[in-house]
Structure 1
Amino acid sequence: MNGAVALPLDLPELSLTASGDALVRRSVLPSGIRILSERVPGARSSTIGFWVAVGSRDELGADGPVPSRFGSTHFLEHLLFKGTPKRTALDIAVSFDQVGGEHNALTGKEYTCYYAKVQDRDLPMAVDVLADMFTSSLLDPTEFENERGVILEELAMADDDPNDVVGERLFEAVLGDHPLGRPIGGTGDTIRAVSRDAVWEHYLANYRPNDLVVTVAGAVDHDELVARVEASVSAAGWDLSGAARPVERRNGDSVSVRRGSALSITTRPNEQAVVMLGYPGLVATDDRRSSLSVLNAVFGGGMSSRLFQEVREKRGLAYSVYSYAAGYSDAGLFGMYAGCSPKNAAQVSELLLEEFRRLAEGGITGEELQRAKGQLSGSAALSLEDSDTRMSRLGRSEITTGEFADLDEGLRRLEAVTVDDVQQLATELRSRPLSVAAVGALEASTFDGVVHS
């Protein structure tokens, strides 16, 4: 495989050999269902995902975002495990438990995925159960109210975790009123307000054949997979006789975001303060995402990074300190984090900002560049030992980027990154509006040296 392979929505069949002699195949069915598989030599298990390109940013009405629907995507994710005309919630759980499998789901800001990991012999069962859940959820009114309570407890648990709280506050501060700035799970108020009818409408509008993407990695025969998916969704009542084009991918052009706030403080009498600083970042399809990976690795991506060495090793001011990047279809975020004593919050925040200034103005060294490339290439190779990672890569390739890039292509792009690329990107990110979010026994004046710098 030379270079990334495009995944056109109107291409019925595609087959390629990826790094490590993995066989990648893709079928776009007349109904619009897309099925991708990656057969890994020697694998004895499979990970399967049923995806839909709908996330928390898509909780909309005819005229735009509807606050009373916020959190309904995550609510629906819970409800699909609660039974169909063929299976009770217990039946679904037993199906996987009795074969030693794993099953779960995740809701993101731009997609939802229902997934399972099983032995190769149990893959047909996993297809049948996930297809039944995906196509035929009852959204039983009693289960709906029970799950409302469960989700409120989940939100309460997250609200007790300062790390969860500060992460949500940073997204709100950096991205403002952009839909990506909203919390994925909604809030207690929106979950208490959302109705079953609203979630049911959301389900009917977004869980259709041309929305569905199925990805499998590990021990898989593609032709058998396609036949099983078609049979399973047909048995559940989906009519596949008509022709439909898969739903269009999101526009990958970056949009201008208006900062929500320069400073967001959640005051709590905690022993430790958690602080995050962030800038608008890159979109998921930006050609510079390999440069961003190198930048992040050098700046705060490991124990040899500048932040770890300066804040923890040299000064002993924090146990956990790091940076990260999140990219979506039309916006992104680059952030840095530290947990420290409240009395040191000002100093630590100023150190985070100063280290980023040094990186932007002075760049990185050739040694740092090579070390980052080694770190990233090694972690990429190791992650692909897991079929979960390969399954997720297929899903993101189909839904987000519209191209499949194997390990060799990823390493080629990484190797092309230069010292100048990293400095130019750091300079651009640093020129964007800065936001600070913090949780702890803090006051706004604590951050005067950061937000006014």
Structure 2
Amino acid sequence: MSNPELLIEPVSSPGILAAKLLLPFGSADDPAETRGAHDLLASLLSRGCGRHNHVDLADLVEGCGAGLRCDAQEDALVLSLRCTVEDAEQLLPLLAQMVRSPRLEPGQVALERSLTIQALQRQREDPFHCATTGWRQLTYGNGGYGHDPMGIAEELDDLDREALLPLAERLARASSVLALAGSVPPQIIDTIGSLEDFRDWPEGSGNDRSGRRPYAEAVGTETIQLEAMDTEQVVLMLGQATLGHGHPDELALRLLQCHLGVGMSSLLFQRLREDHGVAYDVAAHFPALAGPAPFVLMASSVEERSELALDLLLNIWDELSEQPLSEAALELARAKYIGQLAQGLQTCSQRAERRVQLKAQRLPDDHDQRCVRALAELTPTDVLHAAQRWLREPRLSLCGTSAALKQLERRWDRRDAA
């Protein structure tokens, strides 16, 4: 098998090509005390590589009307290129150069580090972000999933080129996956193999995650996290760490997420907004991660109605493990699930990213199609049993005024004591 492994996804498009190169190192691999290192590295990969400094690289890419970037996710770095088929042969080598010869110029390191710290400081003013940060720390502790991919501002202060070099040097030796989607010329496989920057690429180790820290580590027994903020709303996040993408129970939890949080017919929207009018925003969060993904219910409410909002969230959470969905609710969740899949595969870029994600997580290329076929076999009892296995020990993160937090903490303590 070549490295990177090449995947082709033909899509009818007006001469547009999307490329995604996935490297199996994300923010969950951030070394201890340097959380945010991979996100900083990602921002620098497109700021100069090979023969191109940051100005030359920007001129080359933007001169072709193309887009080039790198994003740090929890489980991976994803390099993205969007261009015309005519420019592909000229621009595709940049993906290889970003991996094999990033420049990491000290001035660019300092600039990107400063911009990241500023962004993190702005996020501290967002109650949703503060509640999310608190929930991560409460649930995953010092583990790989315990921090935002952007990192911790205080730990970024001392990150310099020397600290990033070991992370950059291992990128080319990883088992990587390259997907091309769109108007893919038939000769593209031979073309990539003949390009100088893709030749003699080191073989992947196949052992890329052997040194990864645990996803959750040093997690205490606390079940509630409070973040006081002078704000007019209270943000509530209730949930727990569950399972990884591809687990046999994932489809059942995915249907519950659709039932709870997708669209205005969802249970959260109906119960908290339509029936009781206690929430500005509601959502159910369940990302597709390699490790134990969070399954979280979120809501924001005015202080005066926040205790009722919490009561409703707790009632909904308990119902998941106590009573099965009706056939009508399950059928609607199936339809929403299929709709979510379709929405996530509308563009060439989305299709390419899905292909590399499935390959990196060792799932079959037709995983989504298999899930759709399995929908009809899932019964309300199956979904109930999955909820009973995975949704029995929630943790709560709150952000709001001190007075509201004290009131909600007392309500949570009564639940714990019951």
TM-score by length of 2: 0.90
| Structure 2 Cα separation of the partners of residues 220 and 354 of structure 1 | 51
Partner of 1:22: none
What are the superposed Cα offsets for residues 100-134 of structure 1, whole Å, 9 maximum, x if unpaired?
32332211111011102222222223312222222
- Structure 1 residues 72 and 230: alpha-carbon distance in aligned structure 2, compared to 1, 3 A threshold: farther
Cα distance in 2 for partners of 1:221, 1:362 equals 53
Deviations 1:348-370 (A, max 9, x none): 11211101212321110000111
Q: How does 1:12-23 map to 2 (within 5 A)?
A: none
CA distance, structure 1, for counterparts of residue 405 and residue 237 of structure 2 = 15
**Structural mapping, 1:338-417, within 5 Å:** 338-405=299-366, 407-417=368-378
Query: Which whole-Å CA distance do the structure 2 matches of 1:451 and 1:283 have between them?
Result: 30
Q: Which residue among 151, 163, 167 is the counterpart of 2:128?
A: 163
Question: Is the Cα contact below 8 Å between 2:262 and 2:336 reproduced in 1?
Answer: no
Distance 1:113 1:187 in 2: 21
Percent identical among aligned pairs is: 20
For residues 190 and 39 of structure 1, do their structure 2 counterparts lie closer, same or farther at Cα, with a shift above 3 Å needed? Answer: same
Residue 397 of structure 1, CA deviation: 0.9
Amino acid at match of 2:400: G
> How many angstroms apart in 1 are the aligned matches of 2:245 and 2:168?
26
Residue 405 of structure 2 is matched in structure 1 by 443
Deviations 1:71-110 (A, max 9, x none): 1111101111221341121222233323332332211111
Aligned to 2:258: 297
Letter aligned with residue 192 of structure 2 = R
State the shift of 1:430 in Å.
2.9
Q: Which residue of 2 aligns with 1:247?
A: 206
| C-alpha distance 426-271 of structure 1, shift in aligned 2 (>3 A) | same
Change (3 A) 1:159 1:223: farther
Contact 2:47 2:108 in 1 (8 A): yes
Match of 1:23 in 2: none
Name the residue aligned to 1:44. Answer: 15
Taking the aligned partners of 1:70 and 1:257, their CA distance within structure 2 comes to 14
Q: What whole-Å deviation, never above 9, does each CA across 1:346-397 have from its counterpart, x for those lacking one?
A: 2211211101212321110000111111111123224322112211111111
Q: Which runs of 4+ in 1 moved over 6 A?
A: 254-258
Between the aligned partners of 1:383 and 1:56, the Cα distance in structure 2 is 23
Question: Partner residue of 2:103?
Answer: 138
Aligned-partner SS, 2:236: strand
Counterparts of 1:421-432 in structure 2 under 5 Å? 421-432=382-393
* Correspondence for 2:27: 56
* Alpha-carbon displacement from aligned partner over 1:420-453 (angstroms, at most 9, x marks no partner): 1111112223323x21112221324423223541
Could you tell me which residue of structure 2 aligns to residue 219 of structure 1?
Answer: 183
| RMSD across aligned positions (CA) | 2.4
Would you say the 8 A contact 1:39–1:221 is kept in 2?
A: no
TM-aligned CA distance change 1:420 to 1:443, over 3 Å: same
Unaligned runs of 5+ in 1: 1-27, 61-65
- 1:158-237 residue pairs with structure 2 within 5 A? 158-204=123-169, 206-221=170-185, 223-225=187-189, 227-228=191-192, 231-234=195-198
Letter in 1 for 2:171: Y
| Distance in 1 (alpha carbons) for counterparts of 2:319 and 2:24 | 39
Instruction: Pick one of 215, 233, 246 that aligns with 1:285.
Output: 246
Measure the CA separation in 2 of the matches of 1:119 and 1:92.
17
Q: Deviations over 1:259-283 (max 9, x none)?
A: 4431111111111121101112111
The answer to whether the Cα contact below 8 Å between 2:240 and 2:296 also exists between their aligned partners in 1 is yes
Structure 2 letter corresponding to 1:436: L
Kindly report which structure 2 residues correspond to 1:69-108, keeping only aligned pairs within 5 A, or say none.
Answer: 69-108=34-73
Contact preservation (8 Å) 1:57, 1:179: yes
Match of 1:25 in 2: none
CA drift of 1:213 comes to 1.9
CA distance in 2, matches of 1:407, 1:43: 26
- Distance in 2, matches of 1:391 and 1:248, equals 24
Partner of 2:381: 420
Q: C-alpha distance in 1, partners of 2:60/2:19? A: 15
Q: CA deviation at 1:172?
A: 1.3
Task: Give the gaps of 5 or more residues in structure 2.
Answer: none
- Residues 152 and 56 of structure 1, relative CA distance in 2, 3 Å threshold: same
Q: Give the equivalent residue in structure 1 for 2:273.
A: 312
Match of 1:14 in 2: none
For residues 76 and 255 of structure 1, do their structure 2 counterparts lie closer, same or farther at Cα, with a shift above 3 Å needed? closer
Q: Is the 8 A contact 1:72 1:191 kept in 2?
A: yes
Show CA shifts across 1:196-219 (max 9, x none): 211111111x21144332111111
Q: Secondary structure at the match of 2:138?
A: helix
